[in-house]
Amino acid sequence: MTVYERGKLNRVRVGTRAAYDQEAIFKILDAGLVAHVGFSDHDRPVVIPMIYGRIGEQVYLHGAKAARFAKVLGPGVPICMTVTLLDGIVAGRSAFHSSMNYRSAVLHGRAALVTDVGERKAALEAITNHLMPGRWAEARPMTEKELNATAVLAFTIEEASAKTRSGPPNDDGEDYQLPIWGGVVPITTVFGAPEDDGVLAPGADLPESILKIIST
């Protein structure tokens, strides 16, 4: 099992909530849908929500070649990427002990522009299938023009950590005698019924990729 070494960037101060093994971190990445990617542009912090994909230990991001992120990150500048899954609101009997139940991963490293055509296509397939499993094979093949207009970045993880919280509030002993409700309000992500765009061609039935999503 691969474990990321604890460093100044990824060390979690509340040790009981931390995990540094690759398996725990990849589970969160695979379950998430949106990452927040932070980097510096002209000495100013920038954070962008992005979809992503993973192939083994490599994380991929994509966007328009003309976008700022591609121009800034292409040379391989340091970035930080986070993925957070919310599982519940924790209502403590005091504001101090109120919290959230969550699973989060924080990754540090560098993203470099992918120039190899084969790797770019594989990365775009991974990103597409991360959102909709199997969608790449169902969709029309990407044209050369579309591929040339898309920038793909490979994110090499240098340091990473996972942090989680679960369970009820940890109230002070004497507070349990107070007539104040304490507990957890669960948070779940629910996919609704698919809505077609109104211009479906004959025979365009719901594909397996969408059926998989709404069955989860």
What is the per-residue pLDDT across 74-130, written as a single tens digit (0 to 9) for each? 777 899 999 999 999 999 999 999 999 999 999 999 989 999 999 999 999 999 999
Closest residue by Cα to residue 120 from 50, 160, 67, 70? 70
Indicate whether 8 belongs to any domain: no
pLDDT of residue 28: 97
How many percent of the chain have pLDDT more than 70? 99
Closest residue by Cα to residue 30 from 158, 121, 112, 129? 129
Indicate whether 196 belongs to any domain: yes
pLDDT of residue 100: 97
The domain spanning residue 49 has which CATH number?
A: 2.30.110.10
Structural domain boundaries enclosing 186:
15-173+182-215
Indicate whether 100 belongs to any domain: yes
Number of domains in the chain: 1
The burial of 129, by beta-carbon neighbours within 10 Å (0-12 exposed, 13-18 middle, 19 or more buried), is given as middle
- Residue identified by tokens 């100044």 is 8
- Residue identified by tokens 């994380």 is 59
Indicate whether 2 belongs to any domain: no
Q: pTM for the full model?
A: 0.91
Find out whether 117 and 147 touch, Cβ atoms under 8 Å. Answer: yes
- Does residue 15 have a pLDDT over 70? no
pLDDT confidence bin for 9, thresholds 50/70/90:
confident
Indicate whether 3 belongs to any domain: no
pLDDT of residue 8: 82
